[in-house]
Amino acid sequence: MSHIGKIPVKVPAGVKVSFKDDIMVVEGPKGKLSQKYHPVITFENKGDEIVVHRVNEEKQTRAFHGLYRSLLNNMVTGVSVGFSKALIVTGVGYKVEARNNILAMNLGYSNTIYVYVPDGLSVAVEQGGKLVISGVDKQAVGKFAAEIRKLRVPEPYKGKGIRYETERIKLKAGKSGVK
């Protein structure tokens, strides 16, 4: 059995999970998510937990087993707790403002960069250049955070740019005066 796939998914109170026509739907206090799944995977609802099973032992089916268990777990976590990623904007004159669903960012370029925040996500700008992206869909939160980071990747000499909060930049020494 798959190491990940055999672990049951805990369903907290207030979250409803349904499986119909090869689509799993998860509803909770923070929102509603749906995901299409392959018919070689079956789900057994045992009240407060869901067990994922597979029909056969083929290599692709074993891969789907762990995949859909992880996707279901992320959906349950997303609609009950939510996901968030924090980015730090570092640099002289670098700043970020959130206006409605648009981010206005000054990142050292000649023009201000405007980025539309996708539906289902929220962005909070905190003091010290911290930008917190949150939402119910883990994939959407991570993708949007990666797109923001890509606008000004941290450089290795002064550490200026946009980095994840948990990311550490290894700074290089730079030029030394040669005589």
124's CB contacts (< 8 A; 6+ apart) are 98, 131, 132, 134
Q: In what order do the strands lie in the sheet with 83-90?
A: 121-126, 130-135, 83-90, 161-164
pLDDT at 175: 81
pLDDT higher at 119 or 3 = 119
pLDDT at 70: 95
For 123, counting Cβ atoms within 10 Å of its Cβ (0-12 exposed, 13-18 middle, 19+ buried), the class is buried
pLDDT(178) > 70: no
Determine the straight-line distance between the first and last CA of the chain, rounded to whole angstroms.
65
Read off the pLDDT of residues 30-78 as tens digits, 9 standing for 90 and up: 999 999 999 999 999 988 999 999 999 899 999 999 999 999 999 999 9
pLDDT(2) > 70: no
47's CB contacts (< 8 A; 6+ apart) are none
Residues 172 and 158 sit within 8 Å (Cβ to Cβ): no
pLDDT at 173: 86
Kindly state the average pLDDT of the residues 133-146: 96
- CATH 3.90.930.12 in the chain: give the residue spans: 9-80, 83-164
Nearest to residue 88, comparing CAs of 21, 179, 152? 152
Q: Which CATH superfamily does the domain covering 9-80 fall into?
A: Ribosomal protein L6 (3.90.930.12)
- What percentage of the chain exceeds 70 in pLDDT? 97
Residues 163 and 149 sit within 8 Å (Cβ to Cβ): yes
Read off the pLDDT of residues 71-104 as tens digits, 9 standing for 90 and up: 999 999 999 999 999 999 999 989 999 988 999 9
* Residue position matching structure tokens 């119909």: 20
Q: Is 85 helix (H, G, I), strand (E, B) or coil?
A: strand
On whether the 83-164 domain is CATH 3.40.190.290, my answer is: no
Kindly state the average pLDDT of the residues 142-147: 96
pLDDT(1) > 80: no
